[in-house]
Structures are given as structure tokens and as C-alpha cells.
Amino acid sequence: MTVTSEKHALDAETDEEFRARLRDFLADSSPGPRPKDPGEKVAWTKAWHATLVDHGYAGPSWPREYGGMDLPFARQVIYQEEIARARVPGPLGTGLGIVAPTIIKYGTPEQKERWLRPMLRGDLVWCQGYSEPEAGSDLPALRTTARREGEEYVVNGQKVWCSAGVIADVFFTLVRTGTPKSRQKGITYLIIDRHAPGVTVRPLKDLAGGAVFAEMFFDDVRVPVTDRIGEENEGWPLVRTSLGHERAAGAMNQAATYRRILSELVDLARERGLTVDPLVRDRLTDFEIRVRLIRYNAERIISGILTKGEPGATSSVSRLMITAFEQDLHEFAVDMLGPDGIVLKASDQAVQRGRWLQGFLMTRASTIGAGTAEIQRNTVAEQVLKMPYDPAMPPR
């Protein structure tokens, strides 16, 4: 079947036929139980995403030329709902939702050809290197430097709170190529090989006992100029694209996932006879309202990306809604379970393998990661509500 005839066949398919086809594929091709061994889990996840790409079920919003499905808006919604329903593994690292839209928009043809499809298949795990010990919310204050020598940059500095840094193969980073006082006007966007000489990665243990985050150190790391996205000292507009898509990328998937999680929490409350308590019912009703609002806002964000190419400030609204929701939901779940809610997953007495306590511990950082809640509120105030610009913040 040619590409044209295949497209005509897909166009003739109804949304419900598409849903049924996708659901059947996910059921027939399920990767099976999640391995416990960390190394096996990485390999298992990579194999699943390669299966999605190879069968044409990956990248719902991506252009077809890079391995995506290029779905219309309604089918992107269906896709995210069915992926969440099937409980299959999500992508490793943070590349798909953050650097991929940046490469698609700003990358050269060679860069797109070299990086996009392997990223979608999971052949390479990508990790964001933005934050530094002295530059988190105030990202333009970053100090990691890149000095150009011929056709290479020599990078020195440190990044921190890098999600999936321990298992990453590639870093997309921000470096200072301008003067120390140049702030956002002297920032460049570089892609750095995790295995290049001079790169050191150290895991950071989190509250739940894992090592989701890492810190990385660059000691005279040489990076080819061809691995720069965009122009030198003009990385800040790319950062804004990356951050906007980071906040919007998983919006629909998160909405579908939390729809399922809330339903499972309601079922648990019923099983334990707790829904007779009017206070429990009141809180569950509040969560039901909020999870629907999260979905509606996710639809608005995706619609904005499709029509304007950027998620805009509504991505900050989504980020605020989701982080507050997931913190409140898990805090309520632990409270509702009483003493059972604080039993660790290693115990045979743990309720549902301690998933609610695990979620409670992990979501304590939700209002910090991907831009603090304070930064999101500033964005909403200035760009959505059109309030005066905060003079305490760095100049735009």
C-alpha cells in the first residue's frame, strides 16, 4: 500500500474504528508485566517503544516523515486515552515532550534525520540539563560555559535535578556562550553525548528511595558545533519552546492517567466501606470535578499547539492544575487509608503495594519541577490575566 492510499484508508476510518483498532493493537502487543530489575525495565521499555514505531502507533502528533502518526486533534485525544487505559510503559527520559518539538521547529534537516526517529523508538534516552545549583527558577542566571574552539565547543560546569540522567544517552543542555552578565541573550542550546570524555553523572536519591534525578558535571567536554540547535547566543527562544511543550506535552496523557487513578481510588474507597463517610464523598466529588477540568484544559492546549504551533501561557495553567491535583489526591488517599496508608511497599501488609504512599512521597516535588508554582503563577498573571510585569524578575 502506498503512503497516499494508506492515508486515504485512514481518513475513511471513523474515530471509533480508530479507537477499536488501537485498543486491539495494545491488547495484542502488550509488553507484559513490568520487570523488577532496573536494567531489565529499561530494555523492556525501549523494546515496547520500538514496537510502537515499527507498527505505526507512536508519536500521535509527530509528522509522519519522522515516524509519527500526524493524527488530527480528536484522535490524539483518543490515543492518549487508550494508552493510559492500557497501562503500557511511557517513554524513558524527557526528550519526546521537550527537545523533540524544539528540534522539529529549529533543527537542521540533518539533525532531524539523525535524532528524531531514534528518539521516538527509544533507541537513545534523552535527558534535560537546564537547572544548576544557582540557577533553577531563574534560568537566565546559568553559569555552565561553552567556549568555541574552531568547530567545537569546550563545555565546563554543572547541571542538577536532571530527570533520568542516570540512564540517559544524550543531554540537551543550556550553556553560556555570552558574557557572565549576558543572561538570556548569551545562552546557547547544545546536544551533548552522555559518553563523551569529561562527562560525569551522579545519581541523587529521592524521598521515596529511588534515583529518578541526577547531577551532571562537564569538565572540558568537547561538543561539535553541528550539535548546536539554532544559532549561538540565541538559545533563549528555543528554551521557551521547550519549556512550553514540557508543560503541555503530557497534558492529555496525564488527564487520562489521572482519570484512571481517581476511578481506582474511588473503587478502593468503596471496597473499604469508606464512601459512607460524607466527607470522603465530598473530597472524591471535588477530585472528579478537577480531573474533568484538567482534561478540558489539556484539550485547549493541544488545540492551541495545532493552530498556533505553540502551547502558549495556558500550559502554565495546566501545570498548576495538575501539580496541585496530584499532591492533593495522594495526600487524601494516604489520609483516607489511615495507618494502612503509611505502610511501605516492601511490606506484605501494604495496600496495593504501597502505591498511594509512593505517590504521596514522589509528588511532594511536583510544585518545584518543570518550573516552580511561583513561576507558573507569574506567567499566568502576566500573559493570561495581563497583570503588570513583576519588577523583581529578570528583564524579558
Count of structural domains within the chain: 3
Minimal CA–CA distance to 375: which of 392, 363, 362, 358? 392
Q: Per the domain annotation, does 395 fall within a domain?
A: no
Q: Per the domain annotation, does 249 fall within a domain?
A: yes
Q: Which residue has the cell 492529555?
A: 252
**Do 13 and 74 have their domain in common?**
yes
**Do 251 and 360 have their domain in common?**
yes
CA distances from 386 to 296, 313, 376, 383, 390 (A): 22, 11, 14, 5, 11
Of the residues 132, 246, 326, 374, only one is catalytic, namely 246
Q: What is the pLDDT of residue 182?
A: 87
pLDDT digits (tens, 9 = 90+) for 57-105: 998 888 898 889 988 877 888 888 898 888 899 888 888 878 888 898 8
**Do 57 and 147 have their domain in common?**
no
Domain's final residue, options 218, 233, 248: 233
Q: Per the domain annotation, does 198 fall within a domain?
A: yes
Q: Which residue has the cell 484538567?
A: 294
Rounded distance, CA 232 to CA 220, Å? 19
**Do 193 and 286 have their domain in common?**
no
Rounded distance, CA 169 to CA 160, Å? 16
Q: Per the domain annotation, does 99 fall within a domain?
A: no
Q: What is the pLDDT of residue 268?
A: 93
What distance lies between CA 175 and its chain's CA centroid?
21
- Residue 274: which CATH number? 1.20.140.10
Q: Per the domain annotation, does 390 fall within a domain?
A: no
CA distances from 50 to 11, 30, 70, 91, 321 (A): 25, 13, 18, 11, 32
- Residue 226: which CATH number? 2.40.110.10
22 membership: H or E segment, kind and range:
helix 15-28
**Do 52 and 16 have their domain in common?**
yes
* Helices assigned H by DSSP within 29-162: 38-54, 73-86, 100-106, 109-121
Q: Per the domain annotation, does 393 fall within a domain?
A: no
Rounded distance, CA 221 to CA 12, Å? 52
Collapsed DSSP state (helix, strand, coil) of residue 149: strand
Q: What is the pLDDT of residue 310?
A: 62
Q: What is the pLDDT of residue 308?
A: 67
**Do 246 and 374 have their domain in common?**
yes
**Do 19 and 130 have their domain in common?**
no
Domain's final residue, options 215, 233, 251: 233
How does strand 187-193 pair with strand 170-176? antiparallel
Domain's final residue, options 182, 203, 233: 233
Q: Per the domain annotation, does 103 fall within a domain?
A: no
Beta bridge partners of 156: 145
- Residue 77: which CATH number? 1.10.540
Domain interval for residue 256:
237-384
Active site residue 246: yes
**Do 139 and 152 have their domain in common?**
yes
Q: Using CB atoms within 10 A of its CB, is residue 169 exposed (0-12), middle (13-18) or buried (19+)?
A: middle
**Do 287 and 353 have their domain in common?**
yes
Q: What is the pLDDT of residue 44?
A: 94
Collapsed DSSP state (helix, strand, coil) of residue 175: strand
- The series of mean pLDDT values per 10 residues for the chain, 396 residues long, is 50 90 96 88 94 93 88 84 88 84 90 94 91 77 93 95 88 92 90 96 79 90 96 85 52 79 93 93 95 84 67 69 88 91 79 85 73 70 73 55
Minimal CA–CA distance to 129: which of 190, 211, 205, 207? 190
> Are the CB atoms for 168 and 245 separated by under 8 Å?
no
**Do 207 and 243 have their domain in common?**
no
Rounded distance, CA 101 to CA 89, Å? 21
CA dihedral 350, 351, 356, 362 (to 10 degrees): 20
**DSSP symbol at 195:** T
Q: Per the domain annotation, does 47 fall within a domain?
A: yes
User: Within 13 Å, how many C-alpha atoms sit on residue 324's CB side?
Assistant: 16
**Do 242 and 379 have their domain in common?**
yes
The vertex-250 CA angle with 136 and 85, nearest 5°, equals 145
**Do 174 and 204 have their domain in common?**
yes
